[in-house]
Amino acid sequence: METACQSDLPLPPEIVTLISSTLPKPELLRLRLATRRLHDAATPFAFRAVYLRAYGTAATNFTSIATSARLRNYVKEITIDTNIGQNYEYASNEPYEFPSGFFNALTSLRYFSNLTKLHLRFSKYCGDNGREFEWAWIEEDWPFRYRILDTVSHCIVGLWTRAKQVEIDERANLRDFEARYLDDDPDFVTKGAEHLQKLTISNLADYHDPNLASSNAWQQLLRLPRLQDLKLLVTTEYHRSQHQILSPQERHEFFQKLPSTWLSPSLGNCLRTLSLYYTEYWGWFPRMNLYEIGMLPQLKVLALGQYVFTDERQTDWIATIGNSKGSGGLEELYLDDCPILFKARQHSPLTSDGYPDLRAVLKANYATAVTKEYNIRWHNVLETWRGRMKGLKKFIMGHGDWSSQWPSTKALKEHEGFVYLSYDELSQMFSENVHRNFCKPAGVEVSNTKDPVLARRYLHGAGLLQRRTARMQYIKYDIGMCGPWDNPYLTRGRGRPDDGWAPEKETVGVDDAACELLMATIRDRISGDEKYQNGD
């Protein structure tokens, strides 16, 4: 029993609350055991963010929090991670223990009606186990992912019922899954998470799933009125035992339909932040027309990862979005490894606007290959953006933390809250969250991060490395090469000169001048806004 002296802290309640808001979760959980006052101050922060993982006691803990009428109301952010633990190697034909407990706990998501942020994280290995040429079993195939996405959708929009879950499971038909269906508590009324504001997905498969597309719950999820922040990292059919499959038809269909599915007008009209990343180069092949997304009238932040620019329609779209009621358009633009295509050798014929014809590509007749050069250059793009993007206040080009930089994993390994995670899991937290970390502190060279104080800057991720070789890039494509994308930067690598490159030598200087002029315009704009706010 606590004494009066123990419970009477010489601090006002608001100070205790402020201190609690800054503490990591392990310390908050310990604080709850100290005194009643500290328990009450720490509890809302200890449970504001929870994880559902597919190993250990995570599923049991998640269900316990969900069924606690008090604790679940504190939860604002949930991360759902399908990884079954550090001792398993994916896509290696190892025996896979299906995470039935995780799948059964997933339906408890419906209890968290105060949820505002939801993060889903899949394995980077996806594919169709029905293909004859698959050399390794894909644990998280299309039905696996569908079951999670549709279950999540029903829970979030308040449409989940036991009968509906049975339908979803019958449609997914997951082998080895032992379903356990629990009805709601008698006193629980399903509300759904109508306050959801942010949705991020790591390793979304590049597959247009007709089951998900026809789901009423999924369609309602993308129409939630408060959903303003969408970040997607899309992965492709690839695993350890083989190279990336160059032309699975499913991924072309996925990108073709992306503007009308994940980025439908009902969602696009509300979005303020959009991040679109792909684990391979995209935009030209597979083709994705940004301008088909629509005007995104409220958008203020756009981040693109590995998008290849080919024609001015794509860059002009960036200059026009976000112009709601004369707001000036985008305020922040991040381009992560987004080059311009200057030359391509591809199966003939190309389309009239210079893109691969999918029918010709699938025939794979190398005798009909054609080479095409493209004239768009970075100074053309940057000059257009400087003249048309009147609201732009932050513009960053560079290279994101795709391979998990040393400072990020170093900082986490020394942090108490993450000591139980393996190196692979720590790396995953960054490399598979690159689509979320673009606005974090700018990345630095690995050789410059031996200082532990500097490393702590990257505790929550590293932003874009802004070396010249990572900005204003050009790339070429050759269908005759094993890896068709070729970045011709000869000066890449640690210790080498940080020089730019362009198809024409004189273009480097022109690009640099256009970039500096754009950045100077942005600096003047910010300075003018500050003077206006200060009444000068």
Helix (H), strand (E), coil (C) string for 410-433 = HHHHCCHHHCCCCHHHHHHHHHCC
Q: Taking a C-beta distance cutoff of 8 angstroms, is the pair 324, 348 a contact?
A: no
Extended beta strands in 137-272, E state: 198-205, 229-235
Query: Higher confidence at residue 26 or residue 240?
Result: 26
User: Across all residues in the chain, what is the average pLDDT?
Assistant: 87
On the question of pLDDT at 425 being above 70, the answer is: no
On the question of pLDDT at 426 being above 90, the answer is: no
Least confident piece of the model among 178-182, 295-299, 443-447 = 443-447
Least confident piece of the model among 31-35, 239-243, 319-323 = 239-243
| Proportion of the chain above pLDDT 70, given as a percent | 83
Burial pattern 110-135, b for ≥16 Cβ within 10 A else e, equals bbbbebbbbbbbbbbbbbbeeeeebe
Residue 493's pLDDT band (cuts 50, 70, 90): low
Least confident piece of the model among 176-180, 194-198, 255-259, 271-275 = 176-180
Residue 443's pLDDT band (cuts 50, 70, 90): low
pLDDT, one tens digit per residue, over 304-323 is: 999 999 999 999 999 999 98
What tokens were used for 253?
Answer: 């269909």
Residue 531 makes CB contacts below 8 A (sequence gap 6+) with: none
Residue 518's pLDDT band (cuts 50, 70, 90): very high
Q: Taking a C-beta distance cutoff of 8 angstroms, is the pair 281, 308 a contact?
A: yes
pLDDT, one tens digit per residue, over 270-281 is: 999 999 999 999
How, if at all, do strands 273-282 and 301-307 pair?
A: parallel
pLDDT, one tens digit per residue, over 338-363 is: 999 999 999 999 999 999 999 888 88
Mean pLDDT, rounded, for 232-241: 78
Nearest to 522 by CA among 397, 329, 386, 388: 386
Mean pLDDT, rounded, for 405-425: 62
pLDDT of residue 5: 43
Mean pLDDT, rounded, for 520-535: 81
What tokens were used for 59?
Answer: 């599923």
Mean pLDDT, rounded, for 470-477: 96
pLDDT of residue 474: 97
Nearest to 473 by CA among 375, 378, 382, 343: 378
Q: What is the dihedral of CA 161, 204, 65, 428, to 10 degrees?
A: 160
pLDDT of residue 3: 46
Query: Which residues are bridge partners to 517 per DSSP?
Result: none
Give dist(CA 280, CA 234) in Å, integer: 9
Query: Which residues are bridge partners to 50 per DSSP?
Result: 78
pLDDT of residue 490: 55
Give dist(CA 93, CA 4) in Å, integer: 61
pLDDT of residue 364: 74
What tokens were used for 291?
Answer: 């301008």
Q: Taking a C-beta distance cutoff of 8 angstroms, is the pair 266, 424 a contact?
A: no
Extended beta strands in 82-228, E state: 117-121, 198-205
Residue 495's pLDDT band (cuts 50, 70, 90): low
On the question of pLDDT at 4 being above 50, the answer is: no
On the question of pLDDT at 448 being above 60, the answer is: no
Q: Taking a C-beta distance cutoff of 8 angstroms, is the pair 402, 337 a contact?
A: yes
| DSSP codes of every residue in 52-73 | EESSTTHHHHHHHHHT-TTGGG
Query: Which residues are bridge partners to 376 per DSSP?
Result: none
Strand order in the sheet with 340-347: 369-373, 340-347, 474-478, 485-486
Give dist(CA 354, CA 358) in Å, integer: 12
pLDDT of residue 1: 42
On the question of pLDDT at 244 being above 60, the answer is: no
On the question of pLDDT at 241 being above 50, the answer is: no
Residue 405's pLDDT band (cuts 50, 70, 90): low
pLDDT, one tens digit per residue, over 94-126 is: 899 999 999 999 999 999 999 999 999 999 999
Helices vs strands, H then E, count in the chain: 19, 13
Least confident piece of the model among 200-214, 228-242, 278-292 = 228-242
Mean pLDDT, rounded, for 228-237: 96
- What SS3 state is found at 307? strand
Q: Taking a C-beta distance cutoff of 8 angstroms, is the pair 475, 487 a contact?
A: yes
pLDDT of residue 330: 97
Query: Higher confidence at residue 213 or residue 9?
Result: 213
pLDDT, one tens digit per residue, over 144-178 is: 999 999 999 999 999 999 999 999 999 999 999 99
Mean pLDDT, rounded, for 294-308: 97
pLDDT, one tens digit per residue, over 67-100 is: 999 999 999 999 999 999 878 888 888 899 999 9
On the question of pLDDT at 416 being above 80, the answer is: no
